[in-house]
Amino acid sequence: MSLSMPGPSQAGLFKPGYQSHDAEDGAVIRNIEACQAISGTVQTSLGPYGRNKIVINHLQKMVLTSDAATILRELDVVHPAAKLLVMASQQQDVEMGDGTNLVIILAGELLKKAEELLRLGLKTSDIVQGYEKAQNFALKVLEDLEVDRLQELRSKEELSKALRTVVASKQSGTEDILASLVAEAVLAVLPRNPVNFNVDNVRVVKIMGGSLEQSRVVKGMVLGREPDGTIKKATKAKVGVFSCPIDISQTETKGTVLLKTANEMLNFTKGEEERLETAIKELYDSGVRVVVAGSTVGDLAMHYLNRFNILVIKILSKFELRRLCRVVGATPLARLGAPMPDEMGSVDVVETTEIGGDRVTVFRQEEANAVTRTATIVLRGATQNHLDDVERAIDDGVNAVKAITKDPRLVPGAGATEIQLVEKISAFADRTPGLPQHAIRKYAEAFEVIPRTLAESAGLDATEVLSRLYTAHHRASTGAEASSEEGSGSSEDEEPYWTTGVDLESSTSAGTLDAVEEGILDLLASKSWAIRLASESARTVLSVDQIIVARQAGGPKPPGPNANWDED
C-alpha cells in the first residue's frame, strides 16, 4: 500500500508575503473563472447592436464605447490569467485594428467549454492537444470560405464594400457615411504600391456641433488653431518649418551694460533688431511665404514677419510638426535662416476657416490629381464622447484598409462563417480517434457564441435563430440535390445556403439572411488572426497549473481621500 507523501513545503523558500496557488487548490478553474468574467464584460458589446460601456478610468476621465480594445485599455486588470486574454486582444488591435472583441469572447467561451471537460475528468494535456488540432483545422477551413475579394483597391465603391461591416459593428446606422469618408480619405493618400500604405496618414479632427452628415474629408491637414500673425491666408506658397525659436538669440551668460547717454540707450538694441530683420528678409528673399514654428515666436520677430507679409503658425506638438512636414514636403530646420530649395515645402492653400464656431487653419493641396501625404477627416457631432467613439470606428476602418492591402479576401459576416466552422469542425471531431475528439467537439461548439450573442443583443430569440441557421447550413452541406428537393417548399428564411447569417433588423423573433447578398462581409485575415490568438491564449491559460505572486514593492499604501470630507 503506497502512502501519499506530502508535497515539498514552500516554508522558508520565498520571502514573506508571497502567495502561491496550486492546481490542487483549483488554480486552473479559478483562472478560467477570471477569464470568463473579463469575457462576460465585453460580450454584450459585440456587433452593431452591442451595448456601450461607461468606464471611469483612474484619471476620472469618462470613456463611453463598445470597442473591446478601448474598454480593456481603460480597465486595470490585475488577475494574471485574465491579463493574458487582454494581451491577446491588444495584439489583435496591433495586427488588424479590428476583431478585438471576437478574441476575448472566443477565448472566454473556449475556456468555459474546457471547464466542462475538466469536470468530466479529462486532463488539461488532452484538451490542449485537441484545441491545437482543432485550431489548425479551423484555419484550413477558413481559407475555403472565401466568397469575395477586392478586385480594385482604388475604387471607392469596392473599398466601401469591405469597410461597411467593420464600421457598422461600432456605429450601426451611419456605416454608409463613415465607410465613404474613410474610403475617400484613404484613396487620397494611397501610395503607388498599396502595401506601403501608412495608417498614420489619415488624421481625424473632431469639432463639436452639427451632425455626422456634415463631416468631410480635407486633402491635407487641419490644425485646431489660427495663425499667430495678421496674415491669415496664403496660396501657392513656399513653406519653411523651424523647430527652433524664431527670436533674438539669447546669450548664455548674463552681463551688465552701463549706459551713459540717451543716444547709447536708443542705439542699444539696434544691432539685434537689424540682425533679426536681416534673418527675416533672407526668408522672404528665398521665397518662403509661410513659416511653421515648432517653438516660440518673439514679439519683434512677429513684427518683422507681419511686415514682410509672411504667415506664421505655431505647432507645439512635435508629432503634428512631423505630419505637417509630410503634407508640405519640408524638412524641419534647427537654425533660423533661409532654407535651401530642397528643405522648403510647398502648399496650394493655407487658409483660416470657421467650422462650427471653431477657428481652424487648413493646409491643403488643390489639384484634383495631386496625391497628398496626409488626409484629414473633419468629424462633426453633438457630444465629445460620441465623437470619440466615431473616431474609434474610423480608426478601425483605416486599419482594415491596411489589412486589405495585404489580404483582400472576404468571408460572410453576420455569424455565417462561425456556424459553418461549427459544422466542419464537428465533422472533423467525429473522424478523430482518442480523447482529443471531445476537446475538438467543444472547440467547435465555442464558435456558437458569436451568432448567439449577435441575436441576443438584437433582441431576437437566440435559440430559434441558431436552429434556423443550423438547418440552412446543414442543408447546404448535404449537397445541392438534397437541398433542391427539400428546399422546394421551404420559406425564404430557410434558404439552404451556407452563407446564411443572423438578420439583426428582422421584424420576426427569428430572422436569417444571406450575408453575401446583403453585403455583410468580414475580412478573412482579421477572422484568421482572431481565431489564432483566442485559441493560443486559451491554451496558455489551460497550461498554467500554479501562480506565484510576489509581494508588492514599497511600504503600505497611503490612505485615499476621505469620501465623507463634507460631513460634519
Express each pLDDT in 99-145 by its tens digit.
Answer: 788 888 888 888 888 888 888 777 888 888 888 888 888 888 888 87
Distance between CA atoms of residues 446 and 197, nearest Å = 35
Burial profile 43-76: b = 16 or more Cβ within 10 angstroms, e = fewer: bbbbbbbbeebebeeeeeeebebbbbbbbbbbbe
pLDDT value at 489 more than 60: no
- Residue 345 CB burial class (10 angstroms; 0-12, 13-18, ≥19): buried
Structure-block grid coordinates of residue 52: 456601450
Q: Sorting pLDDT into bands at 50, 70 and 90, what band is 372?
A: low
CA distances, 2 to each of 24, 154, 442 (Å): 20, 74, 37
- H-helix or E-strand spanning residue 368: none
pLDDT digits (tens, 9 = 90+) for 166-199: 887 777 777 788 888 888 888 877 777 777 777 7
Strands (E), 258-355: 288-293, 311-314, 345-355
Using alpha carbons only, give the angle 58, 63, 68 rounded to the nearest 5 degrees.
100
Strands (E), 227-383: 233-242, 288-293, 311-314, 345-355, 358-364, 375-381
pLDDT value at 282 more than 70: yes
Distance between CA atoms of residues 500 and 496, nearest Å = 8
Mean pLDDT value across residues 35-61: 81
Mean pLDDT value across residues 412-418: 81
Distance between CA atoms of residues 29 and 35, nearest Å = 10
- Which pLDDT does position 327 carry in this prediction? 75
pLDDT value at 429 more than 60: yes
- Which pLDDT does position 58 carry in this prediction? 77
pLDDT value at 555 more than 50: yes
Structure-block grid coordinates of residue 145: 470560405
| Beta carbons of 417 and 521 less than 8 angstroms apart | no
Burial profile 140-160: b = 16 or more Cβ within 10 angstroms, e = fewer: ebbeebebbebeebeeeebbb
| Beta carbons of 531 and 139 less than 8 angstroms apart | yes
Q: Sorting pLDDT into bands at 50, 70 and 90, what band is 502?
A: confident
SS (H, E, C) 90-110: HHHHHHCCCCHHHHHHHHHHH
- Which pLDDT does position 7 carry in this prediction? 45
Of residues 486 and 542, the one with the higher pLDDT is 542
CA nearest 245: which of 320, 314, 311, 307?
314
**Which residue has 462581409 as its cell numbers?**
521
- Which pLDDT does position 442 carry in this prediction? 86
**Which residue has 509630410 as its cell numbers?**
326
Of residues 179 and 355, the one with the higher pLDDT is 179
- H-helix or E-strand spanning residue 51: none
pLDDT value at 367 more than 80: no
Q: Sorting pLDDT into bands at 50, 70 and 90, what band is 231?
A: confident
Domain 220-250+263-371: which topology?
GroEL (3.50.7)
pLDDT value at 531 more than 80: yes
**Which residue has 490542487 as its cell numbers?**
24
CA nearest 417: which of 521, 506, 518?
521
Q: Which CATH superfamily is domain 21-147+413-476+500-550 in?
A: GroEL-like equatorial domain (1.10.560.10)
* In the chain, domain spans: 21-147+413-476+500-550, 220-250+263-371
Looking at residue 293, its amino acid is A
- Which pLDDT does position 336 carry in this prediction? 76
Of residues 356 and 169, the one with the higher pLDDT is 169
- Which pLDDT does position 556 carry in this prediction? 65
Mean pLDDT value across residues 250-255: 64
Distance between CA atoms of residues 246 and 296, nearest Å = 6
Sign of CA dihedral 91, 95, 101, 103: negative
Structure-block grid coordinates of residue 312: 506664421
- Which pLDDT does position 21 carry in this prediction? 59
- Which pLDDT does position 511 carry in this prediction? 67
**384-406 helix and 156-168 helix, angle to the nearest 10 degrees:** 130
